[in-house]
Amino acid sequence: MEETRRLLERLVDDGLINILHFLDEPGDLVRFAAASKTCQKRVVEGRCVKDLCIRISPEVSMFSSVEEHKININEGVSSHKDLKWENLEREHKVYTMLARELMGSPARRSCICKPIQVSSTDNYPDESVINTLDPRHIKDNGMPCYWSSKGESNVEVPETLTYALHTKLCVVHEVKIRPFKAYFQRGYPIYSSNAVRFRFGYCRSNIEDVDMFKSNNKFDYVWMYVSPEYTMQQADILQSFKLPRPVLCIGGILQVELLGRVQTQETDKLYYICVCHVHVVGRPLTFLDFEALVQPEQFTLKHSETQKCLCIASEDTFAEEYYFFDSEDDVIDDEEDDHLDPEDHVIGAEEDDHLDPEDHVIGPDEDDHLDSEDDVIGAEEDDHLDSEDDVIGAEEDDHYVLF
Q: Give the pLDDT of the chain (403 residues) as one tens digit per residue.
A: 566 656 655 555 556 666 676 676 777 777 777 777 878 888 888 788 899 999 999 999 999 888 876 553 443 444 566 777 888 888 888 898 899 889 888 998 999 999 999 999 999 999 999 999 999 988 888 899 999 999 999 999 999 999 999 999 999 999 999 999 999 999 999 999 999 999 999 988 776 655 555 545 667 888 999 999 999 999 999 999 999 999 999 999 999 999 999 999 999 999 999 999 999 999 999 888 888 776 666 788 888 765 554 454 443 344 333 333 333 334 334 344 443 343 443 333 344 444 344 443 334 344 444 344 444 344 444 444 344 444 334 344 443 333 2
Residue 151 CA to its chain's centroid (Å): 31
Distance CA 83, CA 89 (A): 10
Residue 57's closest CA among 107, 113, 7, 102? 102
Q: Is the peptide bond before 125 cis (omega within 30 degrees of 0)?
A: yes
Distance CA 214, CA 117 (A): 9
**CA atoms within a 13 Å half-sphere pointing along the CA-CB vector of 251:** 26
Distance CA 42, CA 302 (A): 24
Domain ranges (residues) in the chain: 2-58+84-103, 112-343, 349-397
**CA atoms within a 13 Å half-sphere pointing along the CA-CB vector of 133:** 23
Distance CA 199, CA 59 (A): 13
The predicted pLDDT at position 355 comes to 39
The predicted pLDDT at position 349 comes to 37
The predicted pLDDT at position 350 comes to 41
The predicted pLDDT at position 60 comes to 93
- In degrees rounded to 5, what are phi and psi of residue 232? -100, 135
Q: For domain 112-343, which architecture applies?
A: Sandwich (2.60)
Residue 197's closest CA among 228, 159, 236? 228
The predicted pLDDT at position 403 comes to 26
Q: Is 20 helix (H, G, I), strand (E, B) or coil?
A: helix
Distance CA 35, CA 389 (A): 45
Distance CA 317, CA 209 (A): 14
The predicted pLDDT at position 158 comes to 97
Q: pTM for the full model?
A: 0.70
E strand intervals along 192-273: 193-203, 221-226, 230-231, 239-250, 253-261, 263-264, 271-272
